[in-house]
Amino acid sequence: MKLIPIYAWNKGVHIFETKQERFVKRPWAQGVVLLLCVVVAMLLANLPWTSEAYKEVLETTLSIKIGSFEFPQGMTVEKFINDILMVVFFFTVGLEIKREVVNGELSSRQKAVMPIIAAFGGVIMPALIYTLVNHSPAAASSGWGIPTATDIAFAVGILSILGDKVPVSLKVFLTALAIADDLIAILVVALFYGGSINLLLLGIAVLLIIFVLIMNKLGEKRMIFYIIPAVAIWILFYYSGIHATMSGVVMAFLVPMTPRYTKEYYFHKRDHYRHLLSEYDNIHEEGGFPNGPQRHILRQLSRTSRNCIGMSYRLEHALGIWVNFVIMPIFALANAGVTIPSVEYFNVFNFSPELGSVSMGIFLGLLLGKPIGITLASWIAVKAKVGAMPAKANWKMLFAVACLGGIGFTMSIFVDTLSFGDHPEVAEQLRNMGKVAVLMGSLCAGLLGSILVNLFHKKPAIEN
């Protein structure tokens, strides 16, 4: 495999990486992969020689049956993706939110207040626009949560393509806003898009969560003591009526961030490490590399170095590439495949007295509601002196960046799959219309934001 030199994001450290590693570390890479999966899914769902097979694969049963016992009940490929694989996605989102709250962009009042207020504005305004458009027909009313989310992968990817045209402070602002937006979206799903609640199972889950929390407080750092409760909590959530993906978020906040070994322990062992490395260099290689004694030394070094990093950080790093380039593309392939029988699906202004206009509400919510809500909330925060305008930014550029917040995609499509359950006779039709509107609204929001950034960008004066 050919190695090529690249520069890290800080542009100061020269490292060597493979072409694949270089690609996956690009901020825009995940967005490109997701977009390709959306195109593939749309083709699979609409081409006459693949559409039936596409539906059959998604409806294939994955449950384990032993006599009359079935576990999990009614599990299909589509539900496996949305209820199990997406748990891992929400787990990594929870880890990211926790990291940012503890020592990142949301770790202090000064850092957090502006993006959090802006995120609430970017949730309330799209929901309000959707509700105004669909306030009368009961069938469409439950979709208000669809246009409230921001897809951080696409938004940050476009910011990276725009380069230095956007001030660094606004890039940080949008990233922190998207993280806060994810937390709000998680709360929306948990509170408004679950089923009927089984209080007994939920109570058992809460007791188990308290047990894990106590273990955390007592200093337990071994991963097995968190993995087993995580599976149990997922099962209890799945059958209690709380959406199963919420178990991932809960466990993310329970996983310890502090390492098993302290800094003092590391320094205490440092002389021993030097001795091991010296011993490693003097081992005569026989039987191939690494031989038995070398493997023993490498295991000792690996165990100590691994336990000097908190479990939360290790899991976030290990799962990141799987979530970004396996789970999310699979989710896109399974959920973006909308069957489009006529061009009416692309008419976002189509209105039905019975069904309302899901497409119009989502499209306007993402394209207009997001930037207006984010900008208005930010303006109120600045005028009330509870927040500060990002450095080297102005209101025009903030509005342009806020337009990129209208890229909903992942979370919007996920909420769409949970909506309209109270009206099963039209649920599939409404969800398909919703997915098309999410794709169109996200595309238009991304284009509008990019155009406005280029228009509002001030080019440096050319010296004579």
Per-residue pLDDT reduced to its tens digit, 134-157: 877 667 888 899 999 888 777 877
CA distance 346 to 438: 11
Token digits of residue 413:
């499509």
Structural domain includes residue 42: yes
> Is the preceding peptide bond at 290 cis, omega within 30 degrees of 0?
yes
Residues 331, 275 share a domain: no
What are the beta bridge partners of residue 61?
76
Residues 248, 126 share a domain: yes
CA distance 169 to 391: 6
pTM, entire model: 0.75
Q: Report the length, in residues, of the chain.
A: 464
Query: Taking the CA of residue 349 as centre, how many other CA atoms within 13 Å lie in the half-sphere pointing to its CB?
Result: 0
Are 258 and 102 contacting, i.e. CB atoms less than 8 angstroms apart? no
Structural domain includes residue 231: no
**pLDDT at position 124:** 95
**pLDDT at position 270:** 65
CA distance 23 to 377: 36
**pLDDT at position 4:** 37
Q: Write down the H helix ranges in 74-198.
A: 77-80, 86-103, 109-133, 138-141, 152-162, 168-192
Residues 149, 84 share a domain: yes
CA distance 338 to 431: 9
Token digits of residue 88:
């891992």
Instruction: Note the pLDDT tens digit of each residue in 27-36.
Output: 677 778 888 9
Are 363 and 413 contacting, i.e. CB atoms less than 8 angstroms apart? no
CA distance 339 to 45: 6
What are the beta bridge partners of residue 99?
none
**pLDDT at position 12:** 42
Intra-chain end-to-end CA distance of the chain, in Å: 49
Structural domain includes residue 206: no
Q: 62: closest CA among 84, 89, 40, 41?
A: 84
- For the chain, how many structural domains are there in total? 2
Residues 272, 335 share a domain: no
Phi, then psi, of 22 in degrees rounded to 5: -65, -40
**pLDDT at position 230:** 92
Beta-strand relationship, 14-18 and 64-66: unpaired
CA distance 25 to 325: 11
Structure letter (DSSP) for residue 325: I
**pLDDT at position 9:** 38
Structural domain includes residue 140: yes
CA distance 102 to 349: 44
SS3 state at 61 = strand
Q: In 3-state terms, the chain is what percent helix, strand and coil (to 5)?
A: 70, 5, 25
Residues 422, 295 share a domain: no
C-beta atoms surrounding 206 within 10 Å = 15
Token digits of residue 103:
């020592």
**pLDDT at position 312:** 87
Question: What beta strand segments (E) does 11-74 contain?
Answer: 14-18, 64-66, 69-71
Are 360 and 350 contacting, i.e. CB atoms less than 8 angstroms apart? yes
Are 442 and 404 contacting, i.e. CB atoms less than 8 angstroms apart? no
**pLDDT at position 122:** 94
Residues 388, 300 share a domain: no
Structural domain includes residue 224: no
Residues 317, 301 share a domain: no
**pLDDT at position 285:** 62
Are 236 and 200 contacting, i.e. CB atoms less than 8 angstroms apart? no
Parts of the chain with a pLDDT under 70 = 1-18, 27, 105, 110, 137-138, 194-195, 262-263, 265-292, 294, 296-297, 341-356, 458-464
Burial 109-121 (b: 16+ CB within 10 A, else e): eebbebbbbbbbb
Residues 323, 380 share a domain: yes
**pLDDT at position 17:** 63
Residues 290, 353 share a domain: no
Structural domain includes residue 88: yes
Q: The dihedral of CA 444, 447, 452, 455: what is its sign?
A: negative
Residues 406, 328 share a domain: yes
Token digits of residue 386:
């509870």
Whole domain around residue 291: which residue ranges?
263-306
**pLDDT at position 273:** 66
Are 454 and 400 contacting, i.e. CB atoms less than 8 angstroms apart? no
CA distance 140 to 74: 26
Are 129 and 145 contacting, i.e. CB atoms less than 8 angstroms apart? no
Q: 57: closest CA among 39, 38, 41, 78?
A: 78
Structural domain includes residue 229: no
Token digits of residue 180:
């806060």
Structural domain includes residue 407: yes
Output the CA–CA distances (angstroms, integers) from residue 90 to 243, 311, 317, 337, 358, in the order listed: 11, 17, 14, 22, 26
Are 113 and 97 contacting, i.e. CB atoms less than 8 angstroms apart? no
Residues 352, 293 share a domain: no
CA distance 97 to 55: 35
Residues 49, 37 share a domain: yes
